[in-house]
Structure 1
Amino acid sequence: MIRSPERPLRPPAGRARARRVRRAADVARAAGLAALALACATCAPPAQNGSVVVSSGAAERLGMLCRWGHGDAEQGALCGRGDEGAARPARVRRITGPADALSGPLAAGRPGDHVLENDEIAVVVDQLGPGTGLAEGGGHVIDAADARARRDELGQIVARVGAPARQAIYSELATGVGEDGVAWIEVRGRELAGGALSVTTRYTLGPRDRAIVITTSLQNDGDRPVEALDLGDVVHWGAAEHVAPGDAPGLRSEREAPYLAGIGTGVAYALAPADGATIRARSGAGFSDVTFARQAALPPGGRAAYRRVLAIAPRGDSLAAATELFFLTGGAPGGIALELVDARGAPLPPIAGKATLTPLAEGGAAPAAGALDLWLRTGKGEPLAVEAPPGLYLVGFEGGGRRALGSARIRIRAGEVAPARLALSGAGQLDIQLQERGASPPAEEEDLFIPLTPAKVSLFDVATGKAVSPPRLTLTGELQLSLPPGRFRVVASRGPEYALAEATVDVTDGTRSRLDLTLERVVDTSGYIACDLRQHTAQSADAGVDTTARIVSNAVEGVECAVTSEHNLALAADLRRDIAALRLEAQLRMLPGVELTSGRSGAGIGSLGVFPLGSEAAAPREGALRWVDETAGEILREVRALPGERVVQVSRHHGGGSPLHAPGAPQSAPDQGPGLLAQIVGDGAGADAVEVWTGREAAARDRALEELWALLRASRPVTPTATSDTHGLLGAEAGYPRTYIAVANDDPGRLDVADLVAGLRRRRDVVITNGPFVTMRLGDTRQGGVASARRASRGGPLSLSIRVERAPWVDARELHVLVGGVAAGAPIPLTGARTTPAGALLDEIAIPVVLGGGSRQGTKAHVDRTKVHAGGAGGDRRPGPSAPGTISIAEDTFVVAIVRGRRPLEPVLTGNPDEILPFAMTAPLWIDADGDGRSLGRAAAP
């Protein structure tokens, strides 16, 4: 059980603690670490940017390593001053100006919000009224930081009383400080949408604590039972990467765990139940939906409560988070002092890098079951020492262009510093220079022109095939890298339109090598602009990427147009100045948008993206569309009432779930139409586009496509889109997947936004892909249009022409042609036998099409009676690249071309191979088979 910080934590008492203090001091001196103990309270405060020094705990926490600013090493008692001085009471106050608030990329506190703090940590709870991010009101944790650094990297924590959309709207707020120095904030309100539940949440902080206790209590004020309540929090991690014991950073699944942690660059967070039980968490990009109490049932007048702890560690590493929780459970940490030497045993100065502590099972034969690799970042010039829970560990290190030549096995005991010695390799220097073939300046600027070469560079150890580090991003095409001696595969990329530029290079100790690479654009996407229509920056509570990093991440992946769709913000991020400052205005256009989330349980459809927006609003919520307790239809009416024309896109839920239905909304069978969504799309005033593919969720994409077919069969024309919905960088790359939109001028620097909007709303000529580029036409009608049998009868036989083009590193094996959402025969093999002059692999398929008469059919009749025949005159020949069969269509329908690959998009993307398989799809091509000028809600061109 975690010790409740509602009562001040007391130091270990008696002689045992005194012995630990003396023993720790002796060990520290023997290891040459006495100087690391911060000799006096008047010393300058230590760096809080992820650097590590040995001091890292409250004075009463340990018998050895103590928190910042305490200790007297010269007198031989590291924690003497902390023992004698009484801690100041915790405090609670309102923010009145910038000096009272926290800093950092996610800091959202503003005048009127409340700060709950002591000398160790500071937490901000926002004022009542409009909330931030996905909170539909105030009264939630929005910032949290170490009290000295005061740098926030957390998004927000929103109490959930049921399904994720079910939260409280608080209407009362009170604060206070008890005689024991414990400060608190309490908010009271009711369940959203007028439910029967009254909700109270209390945030508590003691004088010396590095954690707050959050207690949420509920009461059923209605006359009927409230059942099946899963009680918990929705956590938006912001700039912190979320991890759990036994999992790699970046959770994307549902699992049980003793705690969750968010690891930032200079601070770490840990969320755990106060009773020591496990929690169930469903996590996705930037968020975790955490359940502390499952299936709670409240009779009329019944009550329930759940308590959890949010710990805040003063360093940005998972070891810090684990140690904080270890202490809260009553443990006494020990410490490790890491000495780095070269291959000959000569000491090395401190090096910027990453140390790993991997827990071992007793006996040391293998890592413990479910163990979490504990890593920490060390700052150059800082000692490599840190506290850790007792246990047996393997210690490793890599950084500064060096890697450990082996590992060290150590045992950490409570109250003692365990020395570890690692020998590191030498280091060499690799300078990489990239250029793009064909990049040339305008004639009038030739003398001043310095070409940009945005690129992503990945390095792999040839001996192991493993990545040496996360990919490096460059705008100028120049990189200077320190690397350990060895042979490396260097791969430069710039999205799926470009061939890879790669080479193998040898790096030797103490030498400097140069590598020149050339990127070449090979795929012809003329007439289309590559767009990512849903992205997030640090302005969203669940993303931690600043605007500069987001811009660069798009440029290096070849994205030409992106929409910043921050959650429920009126702050329309106009990034034109930022793009101009990076000299990318000719290559990238960023459009401001908003992602609105309907809050009415069971009545909304998830999220609606709206773009482009103006930049009139200067602060969150001011001038924003209403979304609290609004249905999607109500939001749509407000959007359409705005001046000008904009796109409304139905966006899918994070981490799974249909893009076409809200949680709890009834699902429809594919042949029954989509029900709810059909009410708000396809009539000119509703949604224009439906996001059918989000990020790497391939299985969810395939399910969403079945619902899309149902929507189209229901005579609700809509444009399918694909977005990255990226909240981070690695593993959530911008532009994977992307939507190519047909426009009159595909030059990003001259993009006509009105034409782009018209392309999505009316022409509907798009390609969604993470690699291959596929286009389709029937006669002179392209995808997105309506091909009419009346026109076909004047033009002779029709042919469905499909063109599949891809860069050599992108695989494409099968072409699937669907008519009305049903496969028209077997998949057509793709060979890429032809090579374009630019170097792309090309397949061109021509399939004869016969359009027959018959009247336009309703939804169910159309699905049951569509005539689709594949084969030749004998009816038994399967389509193939050289002799595709004939497709006969007797009734109004739609045709879609889908391309699938079998080889993952490595090395440009890494991760689960099933999630990075190539996939591409055209927009539907509507067929007016009876020649009446219409097809499934679409009018044919005159």
Structure 2
Amino acid sequence: MALRRLRPLLPVLLLLGGGLVLRCGEPPQPPPAEIDLTAPLGPGEVRAGVVTDRAALIGGPKADGVLGDIKMYNAEAAFIIEGVRRASGYRYWGGNVADADVIHDGPGNDRFGETIFSWNLRIFRPETVEILNDGTNGEAAHVRFTGRIEPFAFADDLIRALIDTPDIDLKVTYDYVLEPDSNVLELAITLENDGTEPAEVAHPFILNSQGDGAHPYVPGVGFRDLQASGVLPYLGSVGAGPSYAFISRDDAFTTLYGYKAVTAYSQTPFTLEAGQSTRFEYDFVVTDRGAAGLDEAYWRALGVEVAGRLQVELGLPPTAAPESAWIAVRDGTGGVASILPYRQGGIEIALDPGDYTVEAYAPGHAPAPPVAVTVPDGGVGLAQPALEAAAEIHLQVKDPDGSPVPARVTFLPQEGTPLPYAPEDVRFGWDVAPASAYAYVTDPEGDSVRLPAGTYRAVATRGFSYTIDETTVSVAPGETATLTFTLEKVVDTTGWVSSDFHIHAIRSPDSYVPYAIRARQAATEDLDAPILTEHVVAAGLKPTAEALGLGQTVVGVPGQEVTTFAYGHFNAFPLVWDPEKPNWGAVFEHGQTPQELFHAIRTQHDGDVVLQINHPRGAPASGYFTYVGLDAERDAVEKEREWTLDFDTIEVLNGNCRKTGGNGETLRDWIGLTNHGHKKTLASGSDTHTESRVVGTPRNWIRLDKSALRGNHFDLVPPVQSRQLFVSCGPFVEFTAKDGTGLGGRTQVDEDGTVTFHVRVQAPEWMTVTTLHLWENGEPIQTVDLSGAEGVVRFDGTLSASPEADAWYVVEVVGEGDMYPVTTSGPPYAITNPIEVDADGDGAWTPPALQ
């Protein structure tokens, strides 16, 4: 499997400025015949070529390949390597593996994230790519990229200040070789010092960003403790579909940092003298056999023979599809020896001789009882775990008139009923195992869910404007049952649109939730406008919602969390989604001052956007207010050159509506800025990264017509910028002046110096609302006890104040109780944006801090 230098059989094909690039010393030749990269290959065949037909691309949830990229494939596996271009992800430049999948029937299923090699925080920028052998001669396909290293903006933002690393300039060559009938793409990286001084490579780092259906995996550890995993044999990610690994033939990988699916590793430092070069060899593996396939590729690369075999034959009930089940093997210490998808007819795993425990899992089923097995030296151990049949429950949710209602049904196990979840170290994804199971009912004919046999409290909900309905159900293994729920919308939200400004999903490296789940969550949470804010790409839920038949219910506005890793995270929406551009048209977030970055956000497309400061308090790298040292009460900052007020909204409530920690500090910031006349909209976002933390809590209620927003996403901008919204974890609050002035507007006092407001608070009867506060300039001045209020309308009346000078007012509504299972984000709460009051009648408004 060693890389070979293959004689060039074709002229060099390259897409650099649209011209044909030739190898030095070769006479000009006509372009080679175009290769059909869509044709299936048989044993002994392999191909490499430039993709000119979209049908040749791999496709899948994480696919990044475009026309002009390089495809290498055989009968076992296919790989897309980005051409000489600006790339997607954090890697910035092409020449890297973008997509990979095993050859199988059906649509492509690329789940690969990215692996980026760097040297002293500099990365490879290819200048040419050559197809040295396209494989038509029966020998291995060979593709070569050549270029140099240049600064890595992502790493410069993230860790440059922490690392004193020498400045170097190296020539780089990437050689990719794919043999026929192999699932291993060989990569040789040659670094050449063509300068006149020694080049000290003090920090050879590798960034590995995975997830999205193939989750970072550490042999012996499983899916957790990546930061503490130490020295690794390979960089692996394992999923129910394809699994991946980078194997080094020269050096181990030492873990520097790990968070969710993003990990950084180091290799041994070295020095290149002037004129000297060095070569590193890696194997990039794709397999459908999980960790077992990765381990076998690793052992082959080392020339190691494993002496034992484990045969697993899983007893599958009719309720479990074979392709949905997976097997986990633990060694005698409880460590994870392997994780892999199950296949009909049984699977075989290469293992060292010893004692093991075999576990089996399938969605919707109780975990199989563990089976102990001994793997003999030179022999085969047999384990036969069995899954119990699941029950199938058909769910229908209707309104009182019998029309279907999208809803979430939460199943809370009773009396020792097991949940269908694997332990954390062998569970795909990073979701904390919830204390319940849930189903999204979005099909007008109803949806079905499979659950372990037992007894459940089943609760149907649809956000904060509907009643709830519940029942208790007991089901036996293999039983089929039907549950019908009735939900009624009791809160009148006419003229308002609900929106979550901060949602992550499969394209964020620290999230794994598919877009289909996010769209169904929005429908079942009664969230009108979910805004996707992925870390790396510009994306929206509109195409997914429409494909699911939810286009009239869910208005998927595209956005992005512009993530600097240096001075803060910033939401931008609506953006223009463009799949033909790197990162789908996302704003590039690195190597710019805040002023430059905000300008880039505002000019991503024609027309304005909403620019939001996310979680402003916290670590300086993610909290802009902390980074600049904002003292809002004094209207001052420590880093004046990096401070700009060119933003619209502040995410005052992040993840919940509790006024503690960063939320409480940010609320005080917003009050201080407002008192100084900086009219920034108080806003919120769930900042959800997992499925169990559903979208829409907190949510923003915006004074806007939903049909108008569906027709033009940019209609969202004016009301948000003008503060025509309130934030809620439950209660629905309407707050106007006597003359009809609404949120964000300005009114005047009456002749007697008083101002009168009308306040209406609604909440479904299951929600406990206790108190209403009227604030003046950030301080409560009146309190109304709502604890005895009954029905949906908890308050419908007037409140008055007599300001001595120009002032601003908001309404805060507080409740108690955790509202589970509607939300896990705490008690009811709502707060409005301000109404300004001109107290002296001069037609102007003077901020309180400037009076």
Tell me the TM-score normalized by structure 2: 0.72
- Which of 917, 925, 928 is the equivalent residue of 2:826? 917
2:691 pairs with 1:735: no
1:716 aligns with 678
CA 1:210–1:290: 2 relative to 1, 3 Å: same
- Which of 458, 469, 478 is the equivalent residue of 1:490? 458
Q: Which amino acid aligns with 2:257?
A: A
Per-residue Cα deviation, 1:115-141 (whole angstroms, up to 9, x for no partner): 456765443331233221444333333
Q: Which amino acid aligns with 1:235?
A: S
Q: How does 1:681-720 map to 2 (within 5 A)?
A: 686-693=646-653, 701-702=663-664, 704-705=666-667, 707-709=669-671, 711-712=673-674, 715-720=677-682
Per-residue Cα deviation, 1:208-262 (whole angstroms, up to 9, x for no partner): 573656869798999999999793315153443445578886x799654555643
2:266 aligns with 292
Measured after TM superposition, the shift of residue 719 of structure 1 is 1.8
Partners of 1:277 and 1:754 lie apart in 2 by 47
8 Å contact 1:245–1:257 — kept in the other structure?
A: no
Measured after TM superposition, the shift of residue 735 of structure 1 is 2.6
2:99 aligns with 143
What secondary structure does 1:112 align onto?
coil
- Which of 268, 271, 288 is the equivalent residue of 1:315? 288
2:244 aligns with 269
8 Å contact 2:226–2:259 — kept in the other structure?
A: yes
Partners of 2:320 and 2:493 lie apart in 1 by 52
Q: Which amino acid aligns with 1:917?
A: G
**Greater Cα offset, 584-593 or 794-803:** 794-803
CA 1:746–1:340: 2 relative to 1, 3 Å: closer
1:862 aligns with none
Per-residue Cα deviation, 1:283-338 (whole angstroms, up to 9, x for no partner): 25xx41424369x9999999999979675342274555566557667572744333
Measured after TM superposition, the shift of residue 272 of structure 1 is 7.2
**Greater Cα offset, 829-838 or 109-118:** 829-838
Per-residue Cα deviation, 1:907-926 (whole angstroms, up to 9, x for no partner): 356xxx7xx43474524426
What secondary structure does 1:555 align onto?
helix
What secondary structure does 2:722 align onto?
helix
8 Å contact 1:460–1:468 — kept in the other structure?
A: no
CA 1:813–1:144: 2 relative to 1, 3 Å: farther
Partners of 1:237 and 1:205 lie apart in 2 by 26
2:411 aligns with 459
Partners of 1:532 and 1:279 lie apart in 2 by 36
1:767 aligns with 727
1:907 aligns with 821
- Which of 398, 419, 423 is the equivalent residue of 2:382? 419
2:125 aligns with 170
2:204 pairs with 1:240: no
Q: Which amino acid aligns with 1:555?
A: A
Partners of 2:196 and 2:801 lie apart in 1 by 63
Q: Which amino acid aligns with 1:835?
A: E
8 Å contact 1:778–1:798 — kept in the other structure?
A: yes
8 Å contact 2:366–2:420 — kept in the other structure?
A: no
**Greater Cα offset, 252-261 or 462-471:** 252-261
- Which of 81, 97, 105 is the equivalent residue of 2:53? 97
What secondary structure does 2:682 align onto?
strand
Q: How does 1:619-658 map to 2 (within 5 A)?
A: 620=582, 629-637=591-599, 643-651=606-614
2:744 aligns with 785
CA 1:415–1:69: 2 relative to 1, 3 Å: farther
8 Å contact 2:615–2:662 — kept in the other structure?
A: no
- Which of 838, 845, 850 is the equivalent residue of 1:934? 845
Q: How does 1:72-471 map to 2 (within 5 A)?
A: 93-98=49-54, 100-115=56-71, 121-146=77-102, 151-159=109-117, 168=123, 170-174=125-129, 185-192=145-152, 196-198=167-169, 200=172, 202=174, 207=179, 210=184, 231-233=205-207, 235-242=209-216, 256=229, 261-270=236-245, 275-284=251-260, 287-292=261-266, 311-315=284-288, 317=290, 320-321=293-294, 330=304, 332=306, 334-340=308-314, 351=322, 353-362=324-333, 368=334, 371-372=335-336, 375-378=339-342, 382-390=344-352, 391-399=354-362, 403=366, 406-413=369-376, 416-425=379-388, 428-438=391-401, 451-464=403-416, 467-468=419-420, 471=438
Measured after TM superposition, the shift of residue 279 of structure 1 is 1.0
CA 1:704–1:176: 2 relative to 1, 3 Å: farther
Partners of 2:227 and 2:653 lie apart in 1 by 20
Measured after TM superposition, the shift of residue 339 of structure 1 is 3.8
Measured after TM superposition, the shift of residue 631 of structure 1 is 4.2
Q: Which amino acid aligns with 2:749?
A: R
8 Å contact 2:124–2:147 — kept in the other structure?
A: no
Partners of 1:202 and 1:662 lie apart in 2 by 42
Partners of 1:454 and 1:900 lie apart in 2 by 26
Q: Which amino acid aligns with 1:516?
A: T
Partners of 1:850 and 1:218 lie apart in 2 by 77
- Root-mean-square deviation (CA, aligned residues, Å) is 5.6
1:888 aligns with none
Q: Which amino acid aligns with 2:790?
A: T
Per-residue Cα deviation, 1:375-417 (whole angstroms, up to 9, x for no partner): 54435xx113231533533323354976567331112356543
Measured after TM superposition, the shift of residue 170 of structure 1 is 1.5
Measured after TM superposition, the shift of residue 191 of structure 1 is 0.5
8 Å contact 2:183–2:285 — kept in the other structure?
A: no
1:23 aligns with none
1:514 aligns with 482
2:11 aligns with none
Q: Which amino acid aligns with 1:556?
A: T
Measured after TM superposition, the shift of residue 559 of structure 1 is 1.3
CA 1:513–1:921: 2 relative to 1, 3 Å: closer
Q: Which amino acid aligns with 2:685?
A: T
CA 1:93–1:630: 2 relative to 1, 3 Å: farther
2:790 pairs with 1:835: yes
8 Å contact 1:172–1:189 — kept in the other structure?
A: no
Query: What are structure 1's unaligned runs of at least 5 residues?
Result: 9-67, 71-86, 363-367, 440-450, 854-890
Partners of 1:432 and 1:532 lie apart in 2 by 27
Partners of 2:774 and 2:298 lie apart in 1 by 55
CA 1:794–1:736: 2 relative to 1, 3 Å: same
Q: Identity over the aligned pairs, expressed in percent?
A: 20
What secondary structure does 1:393 align onto?
strand
2:24 aligns with none
Q: How does 1:889-908 map to 2 (within 5 A)?
A: 897=812, 899=814, 903=818, 906-908=820-822
Partners of 1:767 and 1:412 lie apart in 2 by 59
Per-residue Cα deviation, 1:765-819 (whole angstroms, up to 9, x for no partner): 23154x455566677788843666x6266453767968474663x6778888887
2:468 pairs with 1:500: yes
What secondary structure does 1:312 align onto?
strand
8 Å contact 2:633–2:672 — kept in the other structure?
A: yes
CA 1:545–1:731: 2 relative to 1, 3 Å: closer
Per-residue Cα deviation, 1:667-714 (whole angstroms, up to 9, x for no partner): 4455554566997765xxx33223445557986545554554555455
What secondary structure does 1:521 align onto?
coil
1:17 aligns with none
Partners of 2:613 and 2:271 lie apart in 1 by 35
CA 1:597–1:475: 2 relative to 1, 3 Å: same
CA 1:623–1:240: 2 relative to 1, 3 Å: closer
